[in-house]
Amino acid sequence: MRKISLKTGISLLIAVGIALPVVASAGEPGQAEDTSIKVSYEDLNINSEAGVRVLYSRLKRASEKACNVESLSEHGSIERVRAAKLCYHEVLSSAVENIDSDALTRIHAS
């Protein structure tokens, strides 16, 4: 079973561990969220272009959720929006690196 979990240490945990201070600063001061998001790709053929695109879409959605990427009005400040976007890019990039798929890396770089 192939899964990526922010909490259990498979792939995205490393990214969230790096970005956790950013996640905390994107939320209320002093309130770090304990984020756990599993991204399953056991149903995908990641050797196919279509499968890799679906996986990348799932990783993007999970990264958005983990980093609390919302509109400016919901964050309340430009600094929090920037922090959430930085977190998103770090989490997504780390997940792509950890999966170690040339096709996924190409999609991410484009």
The pTM of this model reads 0.69
DSSP characters for 36-72?
Answer: --EEE-TTS-TTSHHHHHHHHHHHHHHHHHHTT---H
How far is residue 52's CA from residue 107's CA, in Å, rounded to a whole number?
8
Q: Containing domain of residue 89, as a range?
A: 3-109
Structural domain tally of the chain?
A: 1
pLDDT at 49: 94
pLDDT digits (tens, 9 = 90+) for 39-73: 888 899 999 999 999 999 999 999 988 888 877 67
pLDDT digits (tens, 9 = 90+) for 86-110: 989 999 999 999 888 999 999 999 9
In a 13 Å sphere around the CA of 39, the CA atoms on its Cβ side amount to 28
pLDDT digits (tens, 9 = 90+) for 6-31: 433 334 443 444 343 333 344 443 22
pLDDT at 37: 81
| Greater pLDDT, 78 or 107 | 107
